[in-house]
Amino acid sequence: MKLNKLALGLSLSLGLVGAASAQTVLKLGYATAASSHYGVGSTVFCDEVEKGTQGRYKCQQFPSSALGGEREMIEAVQLGTLDIVNTSTGPVGNFVPEVKIVDIPFLFRDYDHARKVMDGEIGQDILTKFPAKGLVALGWTENGFRHMTNNKRAIVKPGDASGLKMRTMENKVHMDGYKTFGIQPTPMAFPEVFGALQQGTVDGQENPIPVILASKFSQVQKHLSLTGHVYSPGLLITSPRLMNKLSDADKKVFYEATQKAKVAQRKKVNDDENSGIAQLEKDGMTVVRKVDGQAFRDALAPAYASYSKEFGADNIRKIQNIR
């Protein structure tokens, strides 16, 4: 009898060990605060993955650049030391050059246009370029249209931005465009930005409203100009190493979770755009709502000539013509 009880207890404890070891905890990192659009999208992704795999996979989130800047996190995914990153496309072109085309300034008219491109044939084709670089793009999320902030003056036309030392992402497409406005682009990892603005190392920075809000840049910046100069998509990126471990059913869960994350992240971007500008004014920022968009586009002509050589004028036109 005692032997039977012992055997039963042993089999139960082994069963519990087996159940415990069957759960895989995935590390997911992003640059902004947990309350940001990246946090919202990542939480939906994690919840859907855990639910869809009956708890066999769950996430541990690392917000606020806890695991480094976006470039470092993408490298970590490539190396296999991080499972998933929810990132802007800013540094992604350094890994997958085909992504760079969507970083061209004033390429997209509005959110509707941008989202149609990312969800359509062009955006989906770009996702197929990742495995060759040791990465898997689960799908697009969103960062938003980028706007300029600075501590010197209001920016209405390109000349107003001339001479400003502005933090940018490590992205040649962005930097080439900003130089045509007379800006001195200063690439810097995101975790360093707040301190650099506070200390006056740079005059300003450019980011979407959700990032400006979540990062509390209103504490260290006086002027916000709604330039909308670049649409910044986001991406959930993982590694072939992780995807190859998944059954077809689990892969489907991961991809479907990404689609739900995208919807939630875009909604948060919309909400922040709708209410965030008034909040930033309340926090003390002076906001220029109406900039001279045409003057900015005209100033970009030299950069567009080089973009056409690099990406092909037809490919740029194809994006511009999406309705």
Q: For the domain that residue 200 is a member of, what is the CATH number?
A: 3.40.190.170
Q: Is residue 224 part of a domain?
A: yes
Q: Is residue 17 part of a domain?
A: no
Q: Is residue 14 part of a domain?
A: no
Q: Count the domains in the chain.
A: 1
CA–CA dist 203, 220 (Å, integer):
10
Torsion sign (Cα): 243, 245, 248, 254: negative
Threshold 0.85, pTM exceeds: yes
Q: Is residue 287 part of a domain?
A: yes
Mean pLDDT value across residues 71-87: 97
* Phi, psi of 32, deg, nearest 5: -100, 180
Mean pLDDT value across residues 49-67: 97
Q: Give the domain range for residue 201.
A: 23-320
| CA distances to 39, 204, 209, 236, 278 from 43, in Å | 6, 30, 20, 12, 26
Round the average pLDDT of the chain to a whole number and report it.
94
CA–CA dist 159, 96 (Å, integer):
33
**pLDDT surpassing 70 at residue 21:** no
Tell me the chain's radius of gyration from C-alpha atoms.
22
**pLDDT surpassing 70 at residue 294:** yes
Q: How do residues 165-188 score in pLDDT, each as one tens digit? A: 999 998 999 999 999 999 999 999
**pLDDT surpassing 60 at residue 5:** no
Residue 141 makes CB contacts below 8 A (sequence gap 6+) with 38, 41, 86, 233, 234, 235, 236, 258, 261, 262, 265, 266
Q: How many CA atoms lie within 13 A of 135 on its CB side?
A: 29
